[in-house]
Amino acid sequence: MSVNESLAQLSNGLVYSSMAVYAGSLVLFASSFASSRPLAEAEAATEEVSAEEISIGEASAGDAIAAKNSDAGESRATTATLDRGAGDAGALPPGRKAGNMAMSLMWLATLLLAGGVIARGFSAGRVPWGNMYEFSISSALAVAVVFLIISLKRDIRWLGMFVVGAVLLTLGLAVTILYTDSAQLVPALKSVWLVIHVLAAIICGGAFTIGAGFTVAYLIRDRAETKAAANGTEVRGWFSSRVPAAQRLDTTAYRINAFVFPLWTFAVIAGAIWAENAWGRYWGWDPKETWAFITWVIYAGYLHARATAGWRGRKAAVIGLLGFAAFLVNYFGVNFFASGLHSYAGVN
Amino acid sequence: MGATDSGVRDNPTGPDQPSEDADASADLSTAPKSDLPGTTVGLGFTGWARWMWRQLTSMRTALLLLFLLAIGSIPGSILPQKSVQPGEVTRYLADNPGLGQFFDSIGFFNVFSAPWYVAIYLLLLISLVGCIIPRTRLHWKAMRSTPPKAPSRLSRLAESSSWEAGSTAPAPQDVLTDAAGELKGKRWRVHVTDFDGTTGAVSAEKGYLRETGNLIFHVALLVLLVAVALGGMFGWRGQALVIEGESFSDTITQYDSFNAGRLVDSGNLPPFSFTLDEFTATYQEDGDQRGAPRTFEADLTYQDDPDAIPSQKTVQVNDPLIVDGAKAFLVGHGYAPVIEVKDPQGRVVYDAPTVFLQTDQNFTSNGVVKLPDIDPQLGFQALFLPTAAVDEVRGPISTFPALNDPAIFLSAWEGDLGLDDGIPQSVYRMDTSEMTQLGIKAIQVGQSWDLPDGKGSVSLTGVKQYAVFDVAYDPARFYALAGAIFAILGLMLSLFVPRRRVFVRITKRAASQDDAVGSVGATVEVAGLSRTDEAGLKPAVEEISTVVQQIVPPAPKGMSGS
């Protein structure tokens, strides 16, 4: 089977376009973040709106119950603010407009990138993760998609510039150092497990990355909160004052990691089944396998730490970041520096 | 253990709550209580043994062991391992004698079976068992006991709501019975504390599968580890190189390397055999991946035993031959030029496909031919190039892995091959220290080279390919797979099933039991808590509130006191 060159060209064009749009999105996210009010002020503002909205709403018993919860009140308030803001852009909180535009651009860029990844796959008539270049663009896509999915449920624009930064970095590395022409697979990769095992690993990569983003934010914010509590002041710091409360960041990070852990377990097991079918042993301590194991063990440690008194909170978060570091070693380090059975990635 | 219950800090009531609220969440996590070491000091040997056991099975120790396991694995991925790349280990030892010796002495070249590594995972195993057993017992009890009584102040739980009952409300006990019925219908485990004239409540609990999943996961890990160990004891694995047209039968002497578990009877392997009829490889012809392999196919004729009817099978990289419970995998290939050597009298003294070893991506390959039985002894060092070219810098080199323009570069030597010293030599290398070079020559298929001074001739009569097969047998692999599948299922249950409690209470303000509720006023409370960081508690409690409101509608507006 030969390669469809025009589709391969189209894929490259789409990937480059997505990078340009991501760059725009990055700038807007950054400016939105920088100009946004520290959260304490913003929360005070929302509370007013929240109270107002409740008084004008139909005060049925059910609504009163719901409104009692501050979370629900907040989300309603946000909607209300946006609705009102639609008619009068000047009334938007500072940075909100840039943030909205950044999100729109990120959606567009992600669609372009998705198109690029899909076209790449079709150009060779197979899944678009047969070498390091393709694995990287697919992983970048996964990071962006996980971010966008979470953004549908909650406002995580503050994380946007870091996510888009990571996506751009990955794509930049892919198109410069890792690029290879679209081509058929080497025989070792011709297996249904390429679809299953690598897809699972790519999704894990996307989610681990976002989870780590929340964890880092949690560590910074938690430190600022501790300091603020000790001094009896508001939470200070250029970053800390603009991100949600530490407890919420930690909870979200946990939910993401708890979602990924079974999937990572599955990815490792699917890899083992493939190894059994290709090399005759399901586990052989190849460098890739070893680091997948290390990553698994550290994330298992993270989940246990969260259930252990004295380890919850910052210590557990640090363990989570170590797990992500092990994942990165597995992704980059093993392919570039170790020789093993997984070194067919098109990198020499 | 307990990866899934996130414990004290997530306790919605917080650390400074009165004990009544702690009751509400009591035993929602079945994690064993940790003992303070001080409490058993002075209790003698049993006390110390108990203390040691508690320490070993504590979560802290498990965490520490997990970390040691992770850190201990790192040298296994950085340094070459004897089990994976024995040649690399030898080279490392030669290049770094001091450090290499040190690493070797602490098992760094054999990490995954080094005593200290085995000690870590055995301790982890014991810790695991020590955690599973008491938790299974606690979980068994929890599943058979009724949910605890409602705490006195439901408003302090994570989610709560309350309203004044309207005048049309049914009698309090009926409210409780109906609410309990609704909850049972939604598969909650329910306990009713009957209305005593002032107050009555329904307690309900759900999500026992969470802990069940947690236990399944950990037991499945044990099964997996046992299966790995069994595979190591009863499994075997060997590597064999087979040239086109030649046969392989499954006996230990036919393997180039063979590793068997301790309990394998190596003299009694399954009696299958196969012949490599043809090996074909195709490669990328153009683009920046030119020369990258695209297909490898080994056409085999095989027999389950010497009396069986032969069958055909094309083995590919991801498609092994499965025979007699063993699997034969295609793991490598190379060229075996057919070399013919004649002595000065013109008699054929050597005529065989000779295995050459690949030295680069384009199959520039090395090989030797040794003729120890003629006098003086004769030897050839040879470079085989499937697509021959001569590079100005690197000399003769292959530019493509397929047989587009094959040639062999020969260097002929005469003298003592050194084979009579009794020191074993590699068949791929020749010791020329006691030999003199006769000359060098490049020939193509069908050509021959007359050695100088009438010392005979050498010709390349053809080129065959060979394939390398790994043959493996692991009788426990299905148990390992079963363990792995149950581990994932258990993990998903233990992470995604929420464990929750909800309470419904009705409290009457006036004391007359026979009055209708509405006439004197009663408060209905619905509240819930969860042991985990889950987003679903709030909607779940709201849903139950709605259900209970249909049983006891709120009083009309204006009478509301909540």
Distance from CA of B203 to the nearest CA of A (A): 20
Q: Do B293 and A279 touch (CB under 8 A)?
A: no
Q: Are B299 and B314 in contact (CB under 8 A)?
A: yes
Instruction: Name every chain A residue with its beta carbon within 8 A of the beta carbon of B321.
Output: none
What pLDDT is recorded for position A92?
Answer: 65
Q: Could you give the residue ranges of the DSSP H alpha helices within A197-245? A: 199-231
Instruction: Name every chain B residue with its beta carbon within 8 A of the beta carbon of A198.
Output: none
Distance from CA of A326 to the nearest CA of B (A): 10
Q: Do A251 and B481 touch (CB under 8 A)?
A: no
Q: Which residues pair with B337 in a beta bridge?
A: B463
Look up the CATH number of domain B150-207+498-551: 3.30.310
Q: Do A298 and B66 touch (CB under 8 A)?
A: yes
3-class secondary structure per residue, B45-93: HHHHHHHHHHHHCCHHHHHHHHHHHHHHHHHHHHCCCCCCCHHHHHHHH
| pLDDT tens, residue by residue, B120-166 | 988 988 988 888 999 999 999 988 888 888 888 888 888 888 888 87
What pLDDT is recorded for position A62?
Answer: 36
| pLDDT tens, residue by residue, A1-35 | 577 888 999 999 999 999 999 999 999 999 988 88
pTM of the predicted model as reported, rounded to 2 decimal places = 0.82
pLDDT at B359 over 60: yes
Instruction: Name every chain A residue with its beta carbon within 8 A of the beta carbon of B535.
Output: 255
DSSP state of B387: B
Q: Cα–Cα distances in Å, from A137 out to B86, B319, B340?
A: 36, 29, 53
Q: Which residue of B has its CA nearest to A69?
A: B159
* Contacts across the A-B interface (CB distance below 8 Å): 180
Listed ranges A103-117, A118-132, B226-240; the one with the highest mean pLDDT: A103-117
DSSP state of A346: S
What pLDDT is recorded for position A337?
Answer: 66
Q: Are B190 and B204 in contact (CB under 8 A)?
A: yes
Instruction: Name every chain A residue with its beta carbon within 8 A of the beta carbon of B220.
Output: none
Q: Which of A68, A280, A290 sits opposite B237 (nearest CB)?
A: A280
| pLDDT tens, residue by residue, A278-306 | 888 888 888 888 899 999 999 999 998 98
Distance from CA of B526 to the nearest CA of A (A): 11
Distance from CA of A310 to the nearest CA of B (A): 9
Q: Could you give the residue ranges of the DSSP H alpha helices within A90-131? A: 96-124
Distance from CA of B263 to the nearest CA of A (A): 18
Distance from CA of B515 to the nearest CA of A (A): 24
Helix, strand, coil percentages for chain A (3-state, nearest 5): 80, 0, 20
The mean pLDDT of B359-375, rounded to a whole number, is 90
Give yes or no for A336 touching B (CB within 8 A): no
Residue B232, exposed/middle/buried by CB under 10 A (0-12, 13-18, 19+)? middle
Instruction: Name every chain B residue with its beta carbon within 8 A of the beta carbon of A251.
Output: 533
Helix, strand, coil percentages for chain B (3-state, nearest 5): 35, 30, 35
Q: Do A285 and B287 touch (CB under 8 A)?
A: no
Q: Which residue of A has its CA nearest to B238?
A: A280
Domain limits of chain B? 3-35, 45-141, 150-207+498-551, 233-333+471-482, 334-469
What pLDDT is recorded for position A341?
Answer: 57
Distance from CA of A190 to the nearest CA of B (A): 7
Give yes or no for A272 touching B (CB within 8 A): yes
Instruction: Name every chain B residue with its beta carbon within 8 A of the beta carbon of A65.
Output: 161, 163, 542, 545
- Scanning A273-312 for CB atoms below 8 A from B yields 273-274, 276-287, 290-291, 293-294, 297-298, 300-301, 303-312
Give the distance from CA B553 to its chain's centroid.
56
| pLDDT tens, residue by residue, B316-339 | 988 999 988 899 999 899 999 999
Q: Which two tokens stand for residue A295?
A: 């990553």
Q: Which residue of B has its CA nearest to A344?
A: B292
Question: Can you tell me which residue has the tokens 């950044």?
Answer: A102
Give the distance from CA B67 to its chain's centroid.
18
Q: Do B6 and A306 touch (CB under 8 A)?
A: yes
Q: Could you give the residue ranges of the DSSP H alpha helices within B162-318? A: 172-185, 208-234
Q: Cα–Cα distances in Å, from B98 out to B79, B87, B94, B103, B105?
A: 15, 18, 9, 9, 11
The mean pLDDT of B480-507, rounded to a whole number, is 92
What pLDDT is recorded for position B151?
Answer: 85
Q: For an interface test with A, give the residue of B77, B282, B327 to mutate (most A CBs within 10 A).
A: B77
Q: How many C-beta atoms lie closer than 10 Å to residue B208's C-beta?
A: 15
Q: Which two tokens stand for residue A91?
A: 């009334």
Distance from CA of B519 to the nearest CA of A (A): 20
Q: Are B527 and B538 in contact (CB under 8 A)?
A: no
Q: Cα–Cα distances in Å, from A302 out to A17, A254, A261, A317, B36?
A: 38, 9, 10, 7, 23
The mean pLDDT of B224-243, rounded to a whole number, is 90
Q: Are A331 and A279 in contact (CB under 8 A)?
A: no
| N-to-C CA span, chain B | 42
Q: Do A297 and B562 touch (CB under 8 A)?
A: no
What pLDDT is recorded for position B520?
Answer: 55
User: How high is the mean pLDDT of chain B?
Assistant: 84
Q: How many C-beta atoms lie closer than 10 Å to residue B108's C-beta?
A: 20
pLDDT at B370 over 80: yes
Q: Which of B5, B34, B77 sits opposite A290 (nearest CB)?
A: B77
DSSP state of B33: P
Q: Which of B8, B287, B481 sits opposite A183 (nearest CB)?
A: B287
Question: Of how many residues is chain A composed?
Answer: 348
Q: Which residue of A has its CA nearest to B228?
A: A283
> By mean pLDDT, which of A32-46, A192-206, B432-446, B451-465 is the weakest?
A32-46
Q: In what order do the strands lie in the sheet with B311-315?
A: B247-249, B273-283, B293-303, B311-315
Q: Do A183 and B292 touch (CB under 8 A)?
A: yes
> By mean pLDDT, which of B24-33, B135-144, B482-491 is the weakest?
B24-33
Q: What percent of chain A has pLDDT over 70?
A: 80
What pLDDT is recorded for position B215?
Answer: 94
Write down the ipTM of this complex. 0.81
Backbone angles phi, psi at B371, to 5 degrees: -120, 80
Give yes or no for A186 touching B (CB within 8 A): yes
Distance from CA of B478 to the nearest CA of A (A): 10
Distance from CA of A182 to the nearest CA of B (A): 9
CA–CA–CA angle B29, B31, B35 (5° rounding): 135
User: Residue B79's pLDDT band (boundaries 50, 70, 90)?
Assistant: confident
* Burial annotation B236-271 (CB, 10 A radius, 16+ → b, else e): bbbbbbbbbeeebbbeeebbeebebbeebeeeebee
The mean pLDDT of B432-449, rounded to a whole number, is 91
Distance from CA of A34 to the nearest CA of B (A): 30
| H or E stretch at A332 | none
pLDDT at A98 over 80: yes
Residue B134, exposed/middle/buried by CB under 10 A (0-12, 13-18, 19+)? middle
Q: Which two tokens stand for residue B77?
A: 């991925």
Q: Which residues lie below 8 Å from residue B311, measured CB to CB, with a gap of 6+?
A: B301, B302, B303
Instruction: Name every chain A residue with its beta carbon within 8 A of the beta carbon of B289.
Output: 180-181, 183, 346
Question: Can you tell me which residue has the tokens 């493939």?
Answer: A274
How many whole angstroms separate alpha carbon B109 and alpha carbon B93? 10
Q: For an interface test with A, give the residue of B66, B85, B214, B230 to mutate (most A CBs within 10 A).
A: B66
What pLDDT is recorded for position B461?
Answer: 94
- Scanning A118-177 for CB atoms below 8 A from B yields none
Q: Which of A193, A276, A307 sits opposite B7 (nearest CB)?
A: A307
Radius of gyration of chain B (CA): 38
Q: Cα–Cα distances in Å, from A170 out to A23, A148, B510?
A: 13, 17, 69
Q: Which residue of A has its CA nearest to B155?
A: A68
Give yes or no for A332 touching B (CB within 8 A): no
Instruction: Name every chain A residue with its beta carbon within 8 A of the beta carbon of B542.
Output: 65-66
Question: Can you tell me which residue has the tokens 């039991």?
Answer: B513
Q: Do A259 and B472 touch (CB under 8 A)?
A: no
Q: Which two tokens stand for residue A182?
A: 């679209």
Q: How many C-beta atoms lie closer than 10 Å to residue A37's C-beta?
A: 16
Q: Are B307 and B301 in contact (CB under 8 A)?
A: no
Instruction: Name every chain B residue with its beta carbon within 8 A of the beta carbon of A191.
Output: 318
Distance from CA of A234 to the nearest CA of B (A): 22
Q: Which of B62, B292, B492 sits opposite A186 (nearest CB)?
A: B292
